[in-house]
């Protein structure tokens, strides 16, 4: 990847709906070479996918919850059952296996506390967990999907 590729990625991270012609103009390329670079970034897996970002509040998803899971089981069968159970819960927008005191972290978006309670009951009913705790977001200060490209 060179600096032109980095410029293309910066543009696409901000607005994936930019036309190839608009991107080409901004990076001083003609359309065909710009399109080829974008295709190569896709083929190489640098561009994993394109998506539209929705505003959770506009959809009535007013509560963001960070759910911390601890387990006493670390075998493949249990792990797969957790992955299957959590993957089936549409309110989970991010799911991580962690190092440290917490084994798994979920980012969950729901309408309100009652909706979180319903989510919680489904989660604990789906798989055996040692401990589940949660922190509730009061304010979003920074939220971005843009990766830092200065260090690439």
Q: Is residue 107 part of a domain?
A: yes
Residue 109 domain boundaries: 57-136
- The C-alpha atoms of residue 54 and residue 106 are separated, in whole angstroms, by 19
| CA angle (40, 5, 94) in 5-degree steps | 80
Neighbour tally for 20: CB within 10 Å: 17
Q: If you ran DSSP here, which 8-state letter would residue 59 be given?
A: G
78 shares a domain with 38: no
Q: What is the pLDDT of residues 98-145, one digit of tens each?
A: 999 999 999 999 999 999 999 999 999 999 999 999 999 999 999 999
Handedness of CA 24, 27, 28, 29 (dihedral sign): negative
Number of domains observed in the structure of the chain: 2
Q: The CATH number of the domain where 10 resides is what?
A: 1.10.10.10
Q: What is the pLDDT of residues 12-70, one digit of tens each?
A: 999 999 999 999 999 999 999 999 999 999 999 999 999 999 999 999 999 999 999 99
116 shares a domain with 66: yes
Which pTM was predicted?
Answer: 0.89
Please give the average per-residue pLDDT across 71-78, as a whole number.
Answer: 94
């Amino acid at each position: 990847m060179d600096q032109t590729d980095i410029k293309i990625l910066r543009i696409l991270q901000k607005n994936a709906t930019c036309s190839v012609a608009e991107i080409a103009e901004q990076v001083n390329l003609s359309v065909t070479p710009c399109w080829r670079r974008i295709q190569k970034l896709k083929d190489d897996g640098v561009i994993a996918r394109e998506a539209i970002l929705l505003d959770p509040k506009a959809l009535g998803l007013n509560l963001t919850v960070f759910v911390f899971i601890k387990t006493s089981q670390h075998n493949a069968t249990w792990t797969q059952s957790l992955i299957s159970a959590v993957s089936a819960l549409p309110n989970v927008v991010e799911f991580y296996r962690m190092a440290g005191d917490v084994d798994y972290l979920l980012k969950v978006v729901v309408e309100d506390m009652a909706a979180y309670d319903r989510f919680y009951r489904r989660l604990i009913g789906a798989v055996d967990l040692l401990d589940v705790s949660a922190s509730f977001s009061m304010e979003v200060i920074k939220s971005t999907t843009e990766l830092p490209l200065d260090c690439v």
